[in-house]
Structures are given as C-alpha cells and as structure tokens.
C-alpha cells in the first residue's frame, strides 16, 4: 500500500504539472532560486577563504615574530618611553631558556621596498628589502629555490658576501639570457655574489612583496651594514604541541625580566603569530558562512512559502477536479497523498535544478579562474562540500513536506457535492 515509488502515482503527478507548465515553472522558481543562492553564496565564501588562505600560503602555521617597541611604564630607574633592542646575547638566552619555542632565528633588515634605490647592478638599480638571515629561517618562511642554493651554515661562519635574490629582483636587474649565479650586485656599496634565486609560495600582493627581497647571511649583514650585534627582530617556531598564545606569553615574560621592563608593561614588546592570524580569519569566514546560510535559508523558506501559496491556489482552482475524483471513489487520504506528493515532487525537482545550476556556475567560475592562470587574486577554487549539499537537500525536503500540509488539508476539506455542483 505504502510504496515509496508508484508509477501510476508518478504519472498522475506529472500529468497535473504538464497540464499547466507555466504555473509549475513559476512555483518551482522560488525553491530553485533559494538552493541556487545557498550553493553560490557558500561557494563564493569558500572561494574567498581558499584565496585568502593561499595568500598566506607557504607561511608556517606555528611561526611567530617577536620584536621590541618602547616601554610605557617606568621600572628599575628607567623612564617610560624608553626604546631598546635585542642583541646577540638575547638570541643565546632565548635558545637556552624558552621551552615553548623550538627555533630562534634573529633577523635584520635593510629597507628597501618603495624607498630609494639601494641595489645596483651595472646600469640597473632597484629598491628591495635586504634581510640578514640564518639558514634556519627557511623553516619559518619557506621559499622555492629556482636556481642555485639557499643560505648555509658555512656562509654564516665565514661571513661570506653572498646573496639569495627573489624572482622579481632577478627579473628587474637581469636580462633574460644573463647568467645569474656567480654574478654580483651592489647593496649600499657592498658587493655581494648571487648564489641563488627563489620564489615565494605566497600568492597575490604578498607574493609580489616577498619575491623582491634579498637574503644575505646574518653575520655578513652585521659587518657590512654596521648593525654590530643588534638584532632587528626574531622569527620563531613554536612547539606544535603548545598553544601560540602560551608561547608568546613565555617569550615576552622571559624578555621583560631580562630587559628590565615592568611585568605589566603592555607596549614594550610586539609579537605576531600565524595561529592567531588563522584564528581571526576562521572567525571571519565562519561569519561569512553563517550569513550565506541564513540568507540562503531565508530564500529557501520564501521559495517553500511560494510553493505552498501556489498549491493553495491550485487546490482552489482544482476544486471541481478533486470533487470528481472523490465521486469516483478517491478517499480523502488518497487526495491528501496526491497533493502532498505533488508539492514534494515540485520542491525536489526545482530544488535539485537550482542546486545543479549553482554547482555548474561555481564550476564555470572555477574554470574561468583556472584559464586566467589561477591569478584570481584573493578568490580561488570556489566549492561546496557534500555535507552542505546534503544539508540543503534535507532542509528542502522538510520544507517541502511542510509546504504540502496546508494545501492538502484544504483539499480534503472540500466537500464533494460543492465541488461538482453545476455552476
């Protein structure tokens, strides 16, 4: 009796819809549009997330940067507003005393970007960032070596005057057919030999910036640019088992004691962790997804109400037909089932259509982005997960059932006599 699919019933339903195709189309439009909107908005929000995440690409998730600022509280005879810096002994101190970090990489920078030209090669010149780095720094900010090699321990020990240059630096300072490895560049009057070319794993604007840097050995940097044993800031790797915030607190506390900074001073040190940057983004995209769901859900709800409305009108219009069916032996239950099935069928078909169109448009956008060489900026690979699709389908079915109840009840409330009474 209660078969899931009954060919006769299905044909009966199809016949009703084919009898009035335009009305069928209009009633289905709402739900179709609702699901289309859900798929597209969720997909777009995912695309944005993928884009932004890959912009951060290549940065290590447990990385942290740590620098000095100025004090805001007087302490141990020092006035407030004192500025100070790290030095070599702090590096050793951190390595020995910090339990939560597993790599301490001191860095110095000679700035560069959008400043005056500081790098010369023959008649060509450019403004680039020059960093003094230890070889381990590549673990904090991985780069892809295109030619030659990265910094190594020998460079540090022997204070070699060598440089690893970014892809963009290479493009700007060299002709395409020129040999790079072994050539020399002049950095603020000091000659360096190029031993490697790298490119960044990042994308978008960040990549442009990262690709126009020059890495030189940390020790050489100090000698060549007279920074002595001063450390600009630290790049750190946090123990993966430790929460980024605890590591940051540990490092700051250690340094406060060592640098005679008041324990409650909030401005003396600055730090940035990848983990909290990620968390922040997760929050933002969570909100995006939520909004997409709320709006899509509302669109779906409006669609379901639309279907219900049309079905109510349909029931009214078909009063006579339903009356005839009753006179021909249809039970109220049969009629109710018919109206419910019609509603559910309409909801499902139009919902699936909207869903397919939504997925198809996401695919289309994806193809378009890929054909542009993946240069989609902060937007890439828009997609929806199977779970989201299934959830949307489930919600749609439930709404379909609810949309069918009222029209079905209305349909069986019609008394057969009234229905077939001669006008």
Partner 1 sequence: MVAIMGSSGSGKSTLLNILGLLDGFDSGEYLLAGESMDGLNERSAAKYRSRFLGFVFQSFNLVGFKTAMENVALPLYYQGVSRKERNKRALEFLDKVGLLDWAEHLPNQLSGGQKQRVAIARALVGKPKVILADEPTGALDSKTSYEVMGLLRELNNEGITMVVVTHEQDIAEMCDRIIRLHDGQIA
Residues that bind partner 1 (CB under 8 A): 7-8, 12, 15-16, 18-19, 320-321, 323-334, 412, 415-417, 420, 422-423
Select from 70, 71, 110, 108 the least CA-distant residue to 91: 108
DSSP string of 17-50, one letter each residue? HHHSHHHHHHHHHHHHHHHHHHHHHHHHHHHHHH
Supply the minimum distance, in Å, between the C-beta of residue 12 and partner 1. Answer: 8
Question: Distance between CA atoms of 224 and 192, rounded to whole angstroms?
Answer: 10
> CB of 52 within 8 A of CB of 59?
no
- Indicate the residue among 191 and 417 with the shorter CB distance to partner 1: 417
The C-alpha atoms of residue 413 and residue 239 are separated, in whole angstroms, by 70
Least Å from the CB of residue 11 to partner 1: 8
List, in order, residues 6 or more apart from 258 with CB less than 8 Å away: 90, 93
- Dihedral, CA of residue 350, residue 356, residue 358 and residue 359, to nearest 10: 160
Token digits for 67? 């620098």
Task: Please give the Cα distance from 104 to 49 (Å, whole number).
Answer: 31
Provide the minimum distance between the beta carbon of 31 and partner 1 in the complex, in angstroms, as a whole number: 24
Q: Closest separation between CB of residue 419 and partner 1, Å?
A: 9
Helix-, strand-, coil-residue percentages of the chain, each rounded to 5: 55, 20, 30
Give the C-alpha separation, 323 to 320, whole Å. Answer: 5
Dist CA 108 CA 105 (whole Å): 10
CB closer to partner 1, 95 vs 415: 415
Q: Which two tokens stand for residue 36?
A: 């289309």
Residue 59, CA atoms < 13 Å, CB-side half-sphere: 23
Closest CA to 37 of 220, 272, 293: 293
Q: For partner 1, give the closer residue by CB, 17 or 402.
A: 17
Runs of H (alpha helix) within 152-230: 153-157, 167-173, 204-210, 218-224
b/e per residue, 194-232, with b = 16+ CB within 10 A?
Answer: bbbbbbbbbbbeebebbbbbbbbbbbbbbebbebeeebb
């Amino acid at each position: 009796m209660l078969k899931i699919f009954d060919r006769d019933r299905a044909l009966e339903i199809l016949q009703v819809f084919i009898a009035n195709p335009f009305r069928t189309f209009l009633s289905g439009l709402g739900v179709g549009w609702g699901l289309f909107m859900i798929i597209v908005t969720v997909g777009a929000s995912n695309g944005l997330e993928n884009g932004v995440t890959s912009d951060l690409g290549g940065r290590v998730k447990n990385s942290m940067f740590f620098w000095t600022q100025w004090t805001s509280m007087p302490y141990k005879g020092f006035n407030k507003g004192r500025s100070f810096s790290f030095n070599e002994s702090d590096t050793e101190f951190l390595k020995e005393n910090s339990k939560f970090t597993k790599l301490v990489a001191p860095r110095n920078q000679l700035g560069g970007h959008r400043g005056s030209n500081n790098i010369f090669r023959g008649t060509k010149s450019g403004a680039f960032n020059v960093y003094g780095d230890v070889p381990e720094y590549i673990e904090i900010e991985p780069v892809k070596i295109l030619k030659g090699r990265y910094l190594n321990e020998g460079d540090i020990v022997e204070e070699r005057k060598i440089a690893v240059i970014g892809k963009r630096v290479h493009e700007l300072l060299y002709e395409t057919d020129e040999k790079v490895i072994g050539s020399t560049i002049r950095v603020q009057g000091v000659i360096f030999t190029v031993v490697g070319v790298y490119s960044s794993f990042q994308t978008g604007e960040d990549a442009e910036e990262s690709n126009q840097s020059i890495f030189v050995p940390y020790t050489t940097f100090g000698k060549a640019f007279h920074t002595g044993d001063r450390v600009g800031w630290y790049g750190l790797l946090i123990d993966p088992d430790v929460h980024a915030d605890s590591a940051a607190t540990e490092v700051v506390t250690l340094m406060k004691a060592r640098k005679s900074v008041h324990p409650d001073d909030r401005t003396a040190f600055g730090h940035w962790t990848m983990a909290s940057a990620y968390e922040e983004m997760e929050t933002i995209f969570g909100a995006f997804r939520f909004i997409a769901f709320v709006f899509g859900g509302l669109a779906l709800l409006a669609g379901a109400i639309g279907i219900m409305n049309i079905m109510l009108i349909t029931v009214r219009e078909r009063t006579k037909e339903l009356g005839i069916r009753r006179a021909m032996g249809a039970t109220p239950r049969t009629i109710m089932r018919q109206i419910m099935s019609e509603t559910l069928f309409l909801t499902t078909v139009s919902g699936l259509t909207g869903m397919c169109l939504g997925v198809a448009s996401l695919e289309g956008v994806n193809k378009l982005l890929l054909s542009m060489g993946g240069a989609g900026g902060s937007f890439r690979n828009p997609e929806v997960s199977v779970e989201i699709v299934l959830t949307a389908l489930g919600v749609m079915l439930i709404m379909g059932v609810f949309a069918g109840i009222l029209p079905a009840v209305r349909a069986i409330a019609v008394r057969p006599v009234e229905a077939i009474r001669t006008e």
